[in-house]
Structure 1
């Protein structure tokens, strides 16, 4: 794991529920469980501060770090997408976003492309991105954040005259490749789930092991946020492997979360007011998740 990427996982999965900040010593302790050295952690922190992703609060000779508003928005959006329901029905509208950014602003143009890809939009032709998801608010936030209002247009349409829906999807996304990666996730974590179930049944799983396994699970699963556009259910291919992967993710997460959070708390040194801590949310961050149909992996 890269230090910066792991830090985002830790903030999104644990630290945000404990006041949003952490003593650097606790962060070093937690990241050492993944083979990351103290110097690598401190180097990553320095770079993230310079990039305005982290901010520091000094208490005596101790440093406590929290996400900036810029980084917090990205983490919260990622957590929402990982832990909220995604098998929604399509409302029948395509969101169509176009831009013509001047060459002297090409750095902003490149950043805009990264942001659009992150939200799940697909590029179907030069400077034209589409999505069947209701992303109007997120796209306009991106436009305003980079002050690109004069160079962009956002439309919605219930029909595409020149192509059918399947052709649009094939132009913008490679669902076959994404399905293959989901299947690899299922094969790897299906075996791991059986081992973890046996350990839980025999009471041989340690808190430390649960923390490592849950953090690695979330870290691996959230990579799909950069690949899977999160299509409505009625636009997905039959027997979409992403649904089975999500079920497996949910079941492993619930199996080991209590003990994983317990280990985090043992390493975490109090910085913020404990009254704002939300241990229950750290254990179960899922929102609007349909449990029915997800439990067959447990049985």
Structure 2
């Protein structure tokens, strides 16, 4: 079976993207590890990483600096094998990637039962720091700050919330309760709290994403046959890199609380279509780039096969 040649339309698009929006080396390496390496065992030789990142015009010095920073931040750990270094995901890095994957590659719940989760942090000097840290971390989980000591979300991940409270050491400080509207008591509904989330800003980011990736999605089509393996890997990585920057800021509110023309739905559909189209060729490129003589790329994880229903 012949390998497709690089499509000139896709080549022009990737060159323009990298020229106009050059990704930061460390951030892009996080995307590459999360999207491509973590599902295949979570480890790569440094020399192979350097070659792989050259696909995006990231030089050797930037790659070495990036892996050093990620090791300092406990995302990666280095293993020495003679003169060679092999970088693997740490346990905490793997957990962080797993949490991000749930939001990037999978749509939110299709239905909502009207139930809310409220997190209350009481006043007091002893919990001032806890309150600040918790607001920040819950913000990344999609919670909105209603008042300085009250945060809310209509579709909270309770398992993640429990983990987060434990990680911050505030499980004994916070009150976590469920809430629903009480019919007939007031004319206002909890759904009006949607105004506490920056939905306009998130919608604008989704529309920008659609404008940027629409042309390459049309060029690729539904089967990715026009992509060379290198182009497939380039496009898939840039797609995930750009999409995650938006979706990780999306509070993932229930459909009932979103406008009918919410662009997040279209952005997910575009991402799903492109990802599925280019993944077979991208995986071939990845195996060639990360393995040497006698090496075999580990089979993809079950989680990978569930991404955008790739299978």
Could you state the TM-score of these two structures normalised by the residue count of structure 2? 0.82
Q: 2:200 aligns with which of 160, 176, 190?
A: 176
* Cα separation, 1, equivalents of 2:245 and 2:262: 18
Q: Show the counterpart of 2:11.
A: none
Shift of 1:114: 3.0
The reply on whether 1:254 has 2:254 as its aligned counterpart is no
Per-residue CA deviations over 1:56-91 (Å, capped at 9, x if unaligned) read 222222111112122211111111211123252112
Per-residue CA deviations over 1:266-296 (Å, capped at 9, x if unaligned) read 110369x9595227865x442669xxxxxxx
Per-residue CA deviations over 1:232-285 (Å, capped at 9, x if unaligned) read 2222211221111111111111111111111111110369x9595227865x44
Unaligned residue ranges in structure 1 (runs of 5+): 290-299
Matches within 5 A, 1:4-83: 4-83=26-105
The reply on whether 1:193 has 2:217 as its aligned counterpart is yes
* Cα separation, 2, equivalents of 1:125 and 1:31: 44
Say which structure, 1 or 2, has more relative contact order (CA 8 Å, 6+ apart): 1
* Cα separation, 2, equivalents of 1:63 and 1:102: 49
The reply on whether 1:125 has 2:147 as its aligned counterpart is yes
Unaligned residue ranges in structure 2 (runs of 5+): 1-22
Deviation larger for 174-183 or 155-164: 155-164
Deviation larger for 72-81 or 48-57: 48-57
Number of equivalences:
284
Contact 1:18 1:278 in 2 (8 A): yes
Distance 1:103 1:32, change over 3 A: farther
CA RMSD of aligned residues (A): 2.8
Q: 2:254 aligns with which of 232, 246, 251?
A: 232
Contact 2:272 2:308 in 1 (8 A): no
Contact 1:78 1:225 in 2 (8 A): no
Contact 2:104 2:248 in 1 (8 A): no
* Cα separation, 1, equivalents of 2:153 and 2:297: 41
Distance 1:108 1:36, change over 3 A: farther
Shift of 1:215: 0.1
Q: Show the counterpart of 1:157.
A: 179
Could you state the TM-score of these two structures normalised by the residue count of structure 1? 0.85
Shift of 1:98: 2.0
Distance 1:147 1:12, change over 3 A: same
